Structure 1
Amino acid sequence: MYNVMIVDDEYPVKVNLRSMIDGAGLPFRVADEAENGEEAYRLALRTKPQLIVTDIMMPVMDGLELIGKLRSSGLETEIVIVSGYNDFAYAQQAIRFGVKRYLLKPIDDGQLLACLRELEQELRHEERQRTEQSEWVWFCKTRGERLAEQLWTLNEEEAELTLAEIRRMFADRQLTLAVVHQCYRNLLQFVFGELATRSDKPFAAARETLLPAGEAAPDDAVSAIVARLFAELRQIRQHGHRKKVQDALQLIRQTYSDEGLSLPTLAASVDLSPSRLSGLLREETGRSFTQLLTEVRMEQAMLLLGNASAKTYEIALEVGYSDYSYFTKAFKKYCGLTPMDYRKRMGVF
């Protein structure tokens, strides 16, 4: 339901508009009324209606001044002007403020109904766009953080798999080239933000994160940037991973489903003391053993949750959690959503 504010100094006009809007059978509800622009401005900043229907000529503050102040404040509410003054100058000024709808008094029921139907379609389209944008930003954030981890650990094979997954997702959703560019810009922003928390050295490849608007092959451009990042990271870190740390990380990836996996058992496997391995892991990855294990388990859980036929408690067991309640809490702490909410967000039912 979309909230509507009526702004008019004539009581009969407000009553008539309320009756027509509330009785239109459309998802619009008159929630507020105001006598003049000043009252409406204060009220709109507080209630943020989706639609304002306002007169032009009013005392204290007229409709055009109201619209100008609302736009200056950043409020992007839809506005319909209704006025008994058939003066094109008013319409011209309203157009400059981004108002596209101008109805003359006495208001015709059919014109108002057509206006509301058109507005409903526009508002629903905007809502869908905002939802999709939010979902893609979240997608780019999770993949960007994963890619940054793979870069930091110099895991080129896993990084290529992540990039391939991203390319498949973009292709499956049939995104336009402009949207793909924006998603890649978001992805690289998250990658560099995450790497910046682990290194005090700037990356030359960061200068290439904003892809040219006319770039015809953004997939190749991003792959090239990632390749340059790998080269820079090897140079910055000189010798790369110490062999035992690399072995430990590989063991975590291979045995994450073992609920008994612990720092002491992992340390024994690579012939290091627990305290020494803990220090090396943090030095090399910026993560503790527990964080690394949790990340591997949660990333695997996120992949498994994409399979609608897999039960969540089975997934919990598969990634090393016999306590389903603890798995749910750990998952929500990691990605901000419960396993069920994650499935809903990704459209898996």
Structure 2
Amino acid sequence: MLKVITVDDERAVKQGLRKIIEMYCPGFTVVGEAEDGQEALELVSRHDPDVVITDIMMPVMSGLELIANIRQRSESIELIVMSGYDDFKYAQEALRYGVKDYLLKPMNVEAVSKLLNGLRDSRIRRMADLERYRSCLWECTAIVERLAEQLWLLDEAGKMSSLAAVAERIGEARLTEGEQAQLYGDLTACLRRLIRERGLGVQEPTMPFEGGAAGLRRLAGFYSDAIRSERNWGQRAAIRNALAYIHERYPDPGLSLEEVVALTDVSPAYFYKMIKEETGRNFKTYLIEYRIAKACEMLREGDLKTYEIAERVGYPDYPHFTKLFKKYVGLSPSDFRKNMGSY
């Protein structure tokens, strides 16, 4: 129920308003009636109303003084003024204080019910919009927490999956452009905080990235590079050469551990240990994640068919590619590409 306080120095006006509200305005209840602005302020403090309907000309404290005082205390209370034709200029002045609307005396059922019922419907829509935004923010924050962990572990495929999941969730939420911009700003700030709390020893980027999905994606890329650099990624020549070879030859379906190890002049056991230390992955997992990450880039940036992309990243068996892609990204290749429209 939306709580209403009415303010007028004429008792008959307040009684008429209460009757109209109770009979023709479902969802509203009158919680207080005041004869002047000073008494109304006391009722506002006591009841925290949703709506205040006030006359303009009153003793002790005028309606204009009342609404100015209320607006200093709260931006959320809906303010409606009542006035006769002689007071119309004051009603116009009241609009400067964020007054919702005004009612001309003598009031009638149609005018009051139309105004209040419209206000109620607008409030319901705003509450639904706010709930939709909060739900989306809560879910996307959980994804960004997972993204921070993936960045810290240098999980490139996981990173792409989480960024796609954020874009998918925001696309489903039917938010306005302004709400999307605010949401991405909140998520970017969240990612910065999470990475900072992990103790990354590099300076934050001084120039802000662009907003929206592109800004979140670029920030994630910045952190990936920074984390690699801080950990002296690939400083040992043997593993550095091996990873460079993988990055060059990943389109080859026959690329094998034995082929890569042969380049390093170290034993397979020692190579396995080095790649695990450098990447946090064994050879097979690292190769799969690198191929999937490259597939994500192609899906986002080009017009190749998904089976063509599968072949270009080393998977001529298309069903096998789609199964791996969904396992590591959480979406099919076609669904991933579809979500890139907002990504």
TM-score when normalising by structure 1: 0.63
Contact 2:133 2:173 in 1 (8 A): no
Q: Give runs of aligned pairs for residues 30-179 of structure 1, distance below 5 A.
A: 30-84=30-84, 86-179=86-179
CA distance in 2, matches of 1:113, 1:107: 10
Q: Which amino acid aligns with 2:95?
A: I
**Do structure 1's residue 231 and structure 2's residue 225 form an aligned pair?**
yes
Instruction: Write the deviation string for residues 80-136 of structure 1: whole angstroms up to 9, x where unpaired.
Output: 111235333202211111113111222111111111122122111221122122212
Contact 1:56 1:81 in 2 (8 A): yes
Which residue of the partner structure matches residue 266 of structure 1?
none
Q: Give runs of aligned pairs for residues 173-192 of structure 1, distance below 5 A.
A: 173-192=173-192
Query: Once the 2 structures are TM-superposed, how far is the Cα of residue 28 of structure 1 from its aligned partner?
Result: 0.9
RMSD of aligned Cα (Å): 2.9
Query: Once the 2 structures are TM-superposed, how far is the Cα of residue 174 of structure 1 from its aligned partner?
Result: 4.2
Which residue of the partner structure matches residue 196 of structure 1?
196
Instruction: Write the deviation string for residues 201-255 of structure 1: whole angstroms up to 9, x where unpaired.
Output: 454337425x35xxxxx4334322211111012223335997299369xx9xxxx
Q: Give runs of aligned pairs for residues 223-302 of structure 1, distance below 5 A.
A: 223-239=217-233, 243=277, 246=280
Instruction: Write the deviation string for residues 250-272 of structure 1: whole angstroms up to 9, x where unpaired.
Output: x9xxxxxxxxxxxxxxxxxxxxx
Q: Which amino acid aligns with 1:148?
A: A
Which residue of the partner structure matches residue 18 of structure 2?
18
Question: What is the DSSP-based 3-state SS (H/G/I as helix, E as strand, rest coil) of the residue aligned with 1:208?
Answer: coil
5+ residue gaps, structure 2, are 235-274, 286-329, 331-343
CA distance in 2, matches of 1:92, 1:203: 53
Contact 2:31 2:47 in 1 (8 A): no
Contact 2:56 2:91 in 1 (8 A): no
CA distance in 2, matches of 1:202, 1:90: 59
Equivalent pairs, count: 246
Instruction: Write the deviation string for residues 298-336 of structure 1: whole angstroms up to 9, x where unpaired.
Output: xxxxx9xxxxxxxxxxxxxxxxxxxxxxxxxxxxxxxxx
Distance 1:89 1:228, change over 3 A: same
Question: What is the DSSP-based 3-state SS (H/G/I as helix, E as strand, rest coil) of the residue aligned with 1:117?
Answer: helix
Point out the structure with max Rg over C-alpha: 2
5+ residue gaps, structure 1, are 213-217, 252-302, 304-349
Contact 1:54 1:81 in 2 (8 A): yes
TM-score when normalising by structure 2: 0.64
CA distance in 2, matches of 1:163, 1:200: 21
Which residue of the partner structure matches residue 271 of structure 2?
none
- Aligned-pair identity in percent equals 33
CA distance in 1, matches of 2:174, 2:37: 45
Instruction: Write the deviation string for residues 33-52 of structure 1: whole angstroms up to 9, x where unpaired.
Output: 22221222232134221111
Structure number with higher relative contact order (C-alpha < 8 Å, ≥ 6 residues apart): 2
Q: Give runs of aligned pairs for residues 322-341 of structure 1, distance below 5 A.
A: none
CA distance in 2, matches of 1:25, 1:94: 24
Question: What is the DSSP-based 3-state SS (H/G/I as helix, E as strand, rest coil) of the residue aligned with 2:146?
Answer: helix
Contact 2:56 2:63 in 1 (8 A): yes
